[in-house]
Amino acid sequence: MNKSSWLLLFIAAFAVGIAFRSFYDFGVEFSLFLVFLGVILLLLAVIFKNSPRQRYDALLLAALFFVAAGCGMFRFDVGDYARGDGALREQTGEYVTLQGIIIDEPDIRETHTKLLFKVKSREKILLVAEHYPALQYGDEIIVRGTLEEPTNFSKGEDEPGRPFDYVSYLEKDGIYYQMFYSRIELVAHDKGNPIKGFLFSLKQKMIQNTARLLPEPHNSLLAGINFGVKQSLGDDLLGAFRAAGIIHIVVLSGYNITIVAENVARAFQLVGPRFFGIGASGLTIIAFALMTGAGATVVRACIMALIILLARATGRAYEITVALFVAGFGMLLWNPKTLMFDPSFQLSFLATLGLIQLAPRIEKFFGWMPTRLGLREAATATIATQLFVLPLLIYMMGQVSLVAPLTNILVLPTIPYTMLFGFLTAVLGFVGDAVAWPFAFLTYALLEYQLFIVQLFAGLPFASVSQ
């Protein structure tokens, strides 16, 4: 085997160790024992280097597996060592008064708002609050209420999919406490990172600009496509997007970011060499991440999009697959809990792998489709990603869309133009509504078409099946 194959095996074994440790805890001693066992096997391989090749390779493989798996388990142990502030843990179930700063953009839902709040002890607390008073990133607040530890919850009998491990989902982001509908007192504004605060503010102003020119749910759909702000779409419409298999266009995914990058590349390649367009695309992805706040999910999607961009620019599927695994390894090294408790990471990784490995291989079967408007590319990308993520989607959601290939082919070619005209509407809205109106009209027409396709196919009796 070549060096790349050994590297891929190490990363795979490292992930196996993390996956095992995610559910079974035998103590840090067990992790170190596996590493020690791997080192012993490696020494044996050196000693018996002149033995038959098969025995030598088997010893090397076993050594690599145990060392890598032990390292993965040890990395999880290190990340799991400090589980919340001791002083706060002793106050769970009690009425407390805490002061701190909102460290992320408010997550506005239909009935409530979620706020990520960090107290002065550096502990994160998830606040579930009323919509008013409206708070923003960087606000310093005093919270009075009952401190609780998150608990898992089961879905209803009529809801498909497996039970949601809510505790682990929050723990992956270092959140061990929550408070519901507490009394909140605003102390001061602008206590967060000024650059992050400016980017959040700019995004909200751009959404407000389009809100003056587009009705609902069109403006909310545009906000989802361009910025991943999907909550205000409502549960019914989001359910229709899931049934139609097109929910990925209203979440901030690597695919959406890749669309932005590819269109920038095409535009710059008209006036310069190919590498100039690729470089401009990379810068666009970075700017897009900053615009949306550069959260963990956004950064991960941007890394996946950069890998896809690199794959399409070079055409070297194997080398880019290695780069994908190395990027995944880096993400797990930073936060090992994302492997088993972050659906976004799982789906994004599998979808990217599908685009790199499968899409080029099945494109020859779609030669009958026109290349105009990106129809052939949309078809191959849709089938490739759907095949790779389908088992995981069925496991997580208990629902699979039977109409997804057709809806994606009909909708995806319109997404780049929607993003372009929507962005121009938002930017020109700072100048004046009259200037932005022509682009707003084009954006509205595209969004109306997308909503029509989604509602049409989601309404079919066979649109999706549930387990």
For β-strands 124-129 and 175-180, DSSP reports them as parallel
The distance of Cα 361 from the centroid of its chain, to the nearest Å, equals: 26
> Per-residue pLDDT tens for 433-458?
999 999 999 999 999 999 999 999 98
pTM to 2 decimal places: 0.78
284: tokens are 């666009």
For β-strands 175-180 and 140-146, DSSP reports them as unpaired
459: tokens are 């309404």
Q: DSSP character for 151?
A: -
CB 416 within 8 A of CB 377: no
Mean pLDDT (the chain, rounded): 82
- CA angle, 230 then 290 then 250, to 5°: 20
pLDDT at 373 over 80: no
pLDDT band with cut points at 50, 70 and 90 for residue 85: low
Q: Give the number of residues written for the chain.
A: 467
Q: H/E element holding 219?
A: helix 218-227
Q: What is residue 233's predicted lDDT score, i.e. its pLDDT?
A: 72
Highest mean pLDDT: which range of 48-52, 118-122, 305-309, 389-393: 118-122
What is the rounded CA–CA span in Å between residue 315 and residue 287? 25
Q: What is residue 32's predicted lDDT score, i.e. its pLDDT?
A: 93
pLDDT at 412 over 90: no
CB 78 within 8 A of CB 23: no
What is the rounded CA–CA span in Å between residue 145 and residue 94? 8
What is the rounded CA–CA span in Å between residue 59 and residue 53? 10
**Average pLDDT of span 117-137:** 87
pLDDT at 246 over 70: yes
What is the rounded CA–CA span in Å between residue 50 and residue 115? 62
Q: What is residue 115's predicted lDDT score, i.e. its pLDDT?
A: 92
**Average pLDDT of span 46-75:** 86
Integer distance in angstroms from the first to the last C-alpha of the chain?
A: 42
Q: Is 143 helix (H, G, I), strand (E, B) or coil?
A: strand
pLDDT band with cut points at 50, 70 and 90 for residue 186: very high
E-strand ranges in 55-174 read 95-102, 107-108, 113-119, 124-129, 140-146
**Average pLDDT of span 412-423:** 82
Q: Is 152 helix (H, G, I), strand (E, B) or coil?
A: coil
Q: What is residue 464's predicted lDDT score, i.e. its pLDDT?
A: 77
The CATH code of domain 86-192 reads 2.40.50.140
CB 192 within 8 A of CB 156: no
Q: What is residue 173's predicted lDDT score, i.e. its pLDDT?
A: 84
